[in-house]
Structure 1
Amino acid sequence: MAILSIQSQVLNGSVGNTAAAFIYARLGLEVWPLPSVILSHHPGHGGSEGGPVKQARLAALVTGLAARGAFARCEAVVSGYLGAEAAVPVVTDAIARARASHPGALYFCDPVLGDSGRIYVPHALVDATRTHLLPRADIATPNPFELEILTGLPVPDRAHAFRAMAQLGPGLVILTGFTGTDTTPGTLDILMLEAGNPYHHTVEALPRPFSGAGDAFSALFLAAYLPHRNARRALAAAAAASAALLAATASGGHDELAIVPAQHLWTAAFAAATATET
């Protein structure tokens, strides 16, 4: 069971593939991390160096995987932060190769486009995500702002959020970090719509956000989902492991997710949740 993960990579930090690849491997999954962008560190810290990987190079790497026959064991293709529209044809090609070689292979789209009212990718990538990636996706994990810009629908409360999630396209949509008018103060909702069935899971809100939390959650969810395709159990596992990881990060005073130093905590939470029938 292998995962092709196409998203950003930082040399220092815990975002994108730098977070996801360790999580997948630590949970026993084979992962092929393909960097769409390589940076010295998260741009939010200022002064980062690096940039996008050229489309031709990305395409050649995917072709090399195919020549090796690797797609026959590719259980899922994941896309996260792509940075530019040029990466989209590489993702769609990888999806087609995976599905041709491994019937039942999933495409997991984490549309990393913006947050808190700000789009931080070119608008062409937003359009390409809407028209080329989401129609191919089995699973999508937008945040509330991304859901609004992709659907054009406001999400002031759970009912409106579920309505927008239904419009997004994929059969399984998970909305992370939701705070609406019907959310309990001091908490965040994780909303899930699976085959039209709404479900919500409430978690404690931390005093401040951490870069990479969404990337880690997506990796944890997919790692729990692939073996049994049980969405509620996977959501419970991802939420529990994310809570343990974020609590350890906050209590340790880290400015990056403590994925490696706190691995004993979040893996224990993940294992306990996946062992529970839901």
Structure 2
Amino acid sequence: MEKRYRVCTVQSHVVSGYCGNKAATFPMQLLGFDVDILNTVEFSNHTGFPVFTGKRTPPEEIKTLIDGLNKNGLTKAWTHVLTGYIGLPETLSIIKNAVESLKEQKPDLIWVCDPVMGDNGQLYVPEAVIPLYRSMIGVADLITPNLFEAEIITDIKITSLATAKQAMAKMHYLGCPNVLITSMSLPAKDIPNGLIAEDNIMYCMGSTLLPGNAGVLKQPTQFLISFPRYSGYFTGTGDVLAAVLTARYQHALDAPASHTSETPLLTATLAAIKTLNAIIKRTFDYQQIHVSPKEIFQINSPDRLSRPASAVHRCELHIIQSKDAIDTPPDTSLVQYALV
């Protein structure tokens, strides 16, 4: 019989636009997953607009929803859990306890944890969530922090390939077998031969700690992927990446054993990055025509209230229009990888 997968995705929700669960649901459904959706916030639109309305889901309501699912035995159908923006430490603690309990019953449940805490040096959740995420790493099967979040979790400033490896080792030490730092810049001297080292290139770095024989020190398999940086305005890209990665990681586990050096994480990340690159490129091409340089400048202003709402709306990710790229990641020379 065909394997069936059901994921519970625990993230934010917006009525209009694409971020959080709105960005994650369609790609995972398209890739063959049934999707159960638990919304941690209900906003009119993402917070990059000059105005947003709505509210956070109270922690007690999250607990009530999980209790109802448990009483009907519906959580037993979950093969995967994907967590993104949660925000409140009380809610994060409830989710952590629920997933831990579920993994005790179903050890093969895969938890992909995107520890959404901040970006570009700015924390936008209470500091109380930081130790919670550190304690959750040992339960997660795959964690996908951005550069800033990886630094917060590990207390290591990542400025080079060597310090990135140190941060990876710290997250492995905390108990997670698969780590992906989703976006980072590196000095040119650290870029392996074969990868592009230019200002308009970003990198993601992954590491898998494979099981070793008793008494043998385990060495991680690590890789670096280069991909283009586009000069537009994009929100929800990390949510799309984590969602596609969740499905592609399972697909890689299901595939026949490979004789190549690719781990399931590398195979899944390559596919996910190619898909995300295609979505961003399609969105960027639309912005080039329909959003003026002046509007892009205004949108990127730190003064959110001065941003033109109509222009922000025209910058929403073209996820539905990129159905083909989600279903079949385009083969492109713009996305390259090297083992490091």
| CA RMSD, 1 decimal | 1.7
User: Is 1:259 matched up with 2:265?
Assistant: no
* 1:77–1:98 Cα contact (<8 Å) kept: no
**1:172 aligned residue (178, 190, 195):** 178
* Letter of the 1:257 counterpart: L
CA deviation profile, 1:142-180 (whole Å, cap 9, x unmatched): 000111111110111122112112212311000111111
Looking at structure 1, the residues matched to 88 and 318 of structure 2 have their Cα atoms a distance apart, in angstroms, of 28
Q: 1:209 to 1:136 in 2, by over 3 A?
A: farther
* 2:154–2:167 Cα contact (<8 Å) kept: yes
User: Is 1:239 matched up with 2:299?
Assistant: no
CA deviation profile, 1:234-270 (whole Å, cap 9, x unmatched): 1111011111111111111241111112223332327
Q: 1:162 to 1:48 in 2, by over 3 A?
A: same
In structure 1, what is the equivalent of residue 36 of structure 2? 32
**1:250 aligned residue (270, 280, 284):** 284
CA deviation profile, 1:50-105 (whole Å, cap 9, x unmatched): 12101111111111111222222211111110111011122123213432443300
User: Is 1:135 matched up with 2:138?
Assistant: yes
In structure 2, what is the equivalent of residue 20 of structure 1? 24
User: Is 1:193 matched up with 2:207?
Assistant: yes
* Letter of the 1:233 counterpart: T
User: Structure 2 length as normaliser, TM-score?
Assistant: 0.76
Q: How does 1:13-162 map to 2 (within 5 A)?
A: 13-131=17-135, 133-162=136-165
Q: What runs of 5+ residues in structure 1 fail to find an aligned partner? A: 273-278
Specify the SS of the correspondent of 1:45.
Answer: coil
In structure 1, what is the equivalent of residue 311 of structure 2? none
Kindly name which structure, 1 or 2, has the bigger radius of gyration based on alpha carbons. Answer: 2
Deviation (angstroms), 1:33: 1.0
* 1:6–1:79 Cα contact (<8 Å) kept: yes
Specify the SS of the correspondent of 2:248.
Answer: helix
* Letter of the 2:230 counterpart: L
In structure 2, what is the equivalent of residue 276 of structure 1? none
Q: 1:50 to 1:74 in 2, by over 3 A?
A: same
In structure 2, what is the equivalent of residue 223 of structure 1? 247
Looking at structure 2, the residues matched to 271 and 34 of structure 1 have their Cα atoms a distance apart, in angstroms, of 34
More helix by share: 1
Looking at structure 2, the residues matched to 151 and 241 of structure 1 have their Cα atoms a distance apart, in angstroms, of 29
Q: How many residues align?
A: 271
Q: 1:95 to 1:201 in 2, by over 3 A?
A: same
**2:166 aligned residue (158, 163, 166):** 163
User: Structure 1 length as normaliser, TM-score?
Assistant: 0.92
Looking at structure 1, the residues matched to 46 and 83 of structure 2 have their Cα atoms a distance apart, in angstroms, of 18
Q: What runs of 5+ residues in structure 2 fail to find an aligned partner? A: 192-196, 210-219, 254-263, 288-313, 333-340
Structure 1 stretches of 4+ with a deviation exceeding 3 A read: none
* Letter of the 2:238 counterpart: G
Deviation (angstroms), 1:188: 0.9
* 1:5–1:32 Cα contact (<8 Å) kept: yes
Q: 1:4 to 1:270 in 2, by over 3 A?
A: farther
Percent sequence identity over matched residues?
27
In structure 2, what is the equivalent of residue 275 of structure 1? none
* 2:233–2:315 Cα contact (<8 Å) kept: no
Of 97-106 and 23-32, the range deviating more from structure 2:
97-106
